[in-house]
Every structure is written in C-alpha cells, then in structure tokens.
Structure 1
Amino acid sequence: MSLPSPELAIDKVGFSVAHYATDGHVLRTVIAHGFRQAFGPAWIVVVVAAAVGAVLQIARGRTPVHRMLGWAAVAAAVAWAITPTTAAGFDGHPLQVYVTANLRYLVPALGLGLALLPLGLRSLTAGARTALTAALAALLAVELPGASAFWRSWLPGHAGVSLAAAAVVLAVAASWIGHRAGRYAAAVLVVPLVVVTLAGGWPLQRRYLEGRYTGNEWDLGPAFRWARTVHGARIGTAGFFQQYPLAGLDLSNTVQYVGVARPHGGFGELTTCSAWRRAVADGRYQYVVTAPNRPPDPVPPQTAWTRADPGAREIVRGAKVSVFRIEQRPDPASCG
C-alpha cells in the first residue's frame, strides 16, 4: 500500500550491512574497521566467541530455553545486518561514522552469545576450563582499556602484554582455588575483587559527566561546550542535526531545527533570508546555532543571514560553527 509522503533522503543512503555482503572492498576497508573501532583490536575473537556460544546452544542446548536463547542471538545478529542505515551512505560508499556507530545494535547479539558460551563448554575438563578462563580474562584486559588515558600512558605494546599477563595469573589462581578448595575459598578471592571494583567505580561514575560533549566532534565542540553552561533557553539550529548536546547538562534547553513544514509531513530548509528571519522571530529563539552537517560541507547560508542581522550577536565562532544571541526580534525586511 502506498500513501502520500515526502521524499526521504534515507531512501538514497539507507543501505544495510547485508547490502555489501559480497563487496570485499567495503567489508575490508569500512565494515572491518568499524568493528575494530567499536570492539577493539581483538574484535574477531569477540565475534567468533559470541557466534560459538549461540551455535553450541542451538545444536546441543540442555533445555528448550537454552536453544531458544541461541536462536535469539542469531536472530538479533541477522536483524542488525539487514537493518537499513547500518551501512548508511551513497551506494558503494558507506560512511565510516555511521557503520561504527550503528554497531551498537549488534551488541545485544554479541552479549547474549558470550553469556551462552560457558553453558556450551560444561563438558570440558578442569584444565581446559582454566585455560579458557585465562584466555577470556586476557581478552578482557586487552579490550577494555583501549581508549583510556591509562592505556595511552604506557609504552607502545607494554600495556596490553602486562594487563593480559596479570589477568591470566588472576584467572588461573581463581580457577585453581575454586577447584581445589571449594566455593568458600573462591569467595575469599572474589569478595575483595568486588569490593575493589565498587570502590574504584564509585568515584568514576560520580565524574562520568564532567567531560561530556567537550570534544571537538565534527567541529561542533565550541557550540557543545557553550551549551553546558546554558539553562532553560530556546535554541534554534540550522545546517546540522546533532541537537542533543545543545540541551545542556540538565536537559533544560528547548532545541529545535528551524525549517519549513511541507505537505504530507515533510520538513525542509528555509531558502531565503526573509523566511529565515521570520521563522527565528516566530520561534522566539534566544539563541541560534549554525554549522554544516559534515566538516567538508560549506557553511550554511543561515550563518550569513544571522550574522548580518543587527539584532543578533555572534558569541561563539569556531571553524564552521557559530552561536548567536538573539537580542532583538529579527526583521525580515532588513535582508539585503
């Protein structure tokens, strides 16, 4: 059934990962790189381990629930692969930023597969389970700190080896104690580990928001940093769609894209100075933020229209981003 609707840009760029299943170049240069960015240098091990966990339960799960969970992990992975925009971009040229960002939709499948993995390995000997535990601990040590300042403070290659070795030692010790001395001795080792984790995690979560949106993401950093100190304001935007950081730390700012409504639910850009100023005035915006959607794109015309408005003052100016304070009602008649 076809209903009246506006032309959607996503119809031209909303390709899925499955669309490139036979394109070796895209798989090697974009998809694989996205996995590395999202899941670390050992991403292949993570994916294979999750797949093995799901397949083992499908093939020989002890209960119908276990088999169902295996199928659920596979279904979630397939759903990610065929979902539109998981490899967004023009045909043959998916954009890396979207491929990497949309891998978050694969996380439920990977998490479920990894959780199922130990259930499929119950028949292993104690020695094999110890070796597997050590391997998984080493993988965790290598993967988790990949982007942290702690990781970067080490000499190249030293951090991964050192943390992996420490994880192996701890995992082997925990497995040996649990096997030899029973559950109570294992608890003696686990309880201090939990206490240390909570003690270290508490101050980290307290400081989690301190640096939020302070980076220079797509040259919008100056505007995002400015918005951290603004509260309860009406903010209009044009040229880009990353609006959420402008809501402020307490999410009290109202942020709206300034455009024009079109038939059948469509929405588009304002194409003249007078129409732009009229919309800003009608929206009662206290601030206007303009920037291109991507760094290579030109500065949107709304920047020049606002900069030339005598009632607007530019308070933040980056490479291609501008923040204006609207001090007087914009006058459409003053457009040149």
Structure 2
Amino acid sequence: MELKKGLEDIAIKETEITYIDGNLGRLYYRGYSIFDLAEFSNFEETAYLIWFGKLPNSRELKDLKEKLAEERNLPEYVVQFIKNVRKDANPMDVLRTAISMLGIEDESNKEELWEKAVKITSKIPTIISFFVRTRKNLDIIEPDSSLSHAENFLYMLKGEKPSNLESKVMDVSLLLHMDHEMNASTFACLVVASTLSDIYSSVVAGVSALKGPLHGGANSEALKQFMEIGNKDNVEEYIMKKLESGHRIMGFGHRIYKTYDPRAKILKEYAKMITKEKGLYNLYEVAEKVDEIGSRILGKKGIYPNVDFYAGLVFYSLGFEPDLFPTVFASSRIVGWTAHIMEYLKDNKLIRPKAIYKGEIGRKYIGIQERE
C-alpha cells in the first residue's frame, strides 16, 4: 500500500463547486473566474452561486438577501454565553462553541440543509462582533437588516456605517475566501458529514481545523512580519537574513499554486486602496517590497505570495485585530463548507482511510508483577 502523507493528491469526491489550476494561477467558482466575480459580483450573489450552482435572477437574489438578514439575530442563551465567556478567550473557541450551542437548540429538522447553511452563515458575523464588543466593554450593536452582509458585519463590529470603500473591500475579501476545493477544514467537515451527523457538528469540525496555525493563522503571521520589518528600506536585509537562516517568508507558498495566487493578485489592489484610506500605507509599502523581492528569489522554485499575504493587511485595515482573522476567514468559508457538505451527501460514502501498521506482531503478555 502506498503511503500518501497528508493525503496529498488523493481525491475523495467529484465536485462541481470549485476548480483550481495551480500551474496557471486560476480559480473558478462553478465555472466563473474569481477575477470576474470579484469585479462584478458580491457576497450574497456568489454565495447563491456556490450553494445552488447558478447565478440568481433578481427575485432569487432578493429572497436570499432577505433570508440572510432575517437570520442574523442570536438566541438569548448564545448572547449570554458570549457576554459571560472570558474576555481573553480565543475567538475561534468562542465561535466554535457558539455554533455548537446553536446546533443543540435547532430542532427544525424539516428545514432543508441549504436553509440551515444560510442560518449559520448569517449568524457567524453576529457571534464575532458581539464577542469583540463585549471583550472591549462596549455595548453590542444589533444587526441592521437594511445593510448587506459585508456592511452589517463592519457596522456591528465598529458601531458605525462603513464607507463605500470599506464595504467593497470587505465584500471582496469574503468573496475570495468562500471556497478553495478540498482544504483541511473542508475535508474535516466532510469526514463528520459522511457519518450522517448534523450540519452544525460538521461545521464545528471545520472551525476546529481552521483554528490551526497551519491553516487559518498564516494571515496574521504575514501581518506581524510587515510590522516587524517596519520600513520598506529594511525589507531586503530582513528577507536575506530569514532565508539564510532557513526560515520561511510568511505568506509565501501554497500546496496547490505553483505561481502567484489569483486571490492575492486581487487583494493586493484592495490592500493598496484601504491602507491609504486608513493611514496604514507604510505597511502596504513594506508588503509590496517583500512581494517584489521574495517573488524574484523564491519564484524560481514556484513559490509566490498566497492569499494570506495581503489578507491580514486588509483585515487589519478594516478594523479586525489579528486574533480575529481566522474567524473572519470562517465567516466566508462557511459557504464553501456547507456547499461541499450538501454535494457530498448526495452520494455519501463514509470516509474511512487506512493506516500502514509499522509495529510488532505477536508480543507475549507479561503479568504486572513480572513487569515490576
């Protein structure tokens, strides 16, 4: 039996949701280029596309927007949990537990899976925002049903309506993180779903996997790197010292992409705009210089910036603290997780891989007295 550590290059299902061309740096949701969707679409429309396989007409889009807005409020018991949890708790732990609590009380088994997907998607920004406000000893901001998904997220977070640029940058950021084929957190969701467990348990598995620094934490590490460098004039020396000592440049490299991550290309332009508006342009200049020098050196090995490279800078400029970045990631990836769960369950097979045994056989049992 061939050992495939990390299940690399092992396919576990066929999909119509996302296609990635790692050599050419292309990403498609349901056949639509990520570049076109980022330019012309929005969170709600793209979520409909990923869940249902087609772009919505005006009535379908209106209905989805209304349903997303209707489901933003949290049950009182979840609000009380958020208010009472330790203020220094890991935000991903809070999110994971809150989603699990929602699952305990959701007895609406007559609902379709997509309706539950919408419900969870709507509530995640509320969970995150309520926790942020509570740990800062600020009054929580109730959802505003007149705002879009992205606008409402920022409004609940900061207590003021976002600017047009903030809204657009937030919307595009969420759109770009919606799905990425069979990554670790999506696979974790499917392992649980394949047992015919409920969708909440499956999503909790995804959140738990995303909490890991090898999956959801790279964007904050890239931002810390830019802050540590401080000035674009320090970039070249910093990079050379890192590489000479065998360390990685954070935000570079991807298991699938052997060229520039298309999501990073899009986020780079929005990072430039939002850092200018927020007085953080010096950090963008550092990032751009790291991008330039790092790509020149590491590009020869097929190592280029990934989505995390600019994502942390964008999230930070929008007002999210670094420990919140994985939760923002989850608030978007929930669309892909639930879409893959629904797709897999149409032709379900319990996921049960093998392990290659390397231990001894036929060992003789020795009583505990002799073992002394």
TM-score by length of 2: 0.20
Q: Give 1 or 2: higher strand fraction.
A: 1
Q: Which has the higher contact order (CA 8 A, sep 6+)?
A: 2
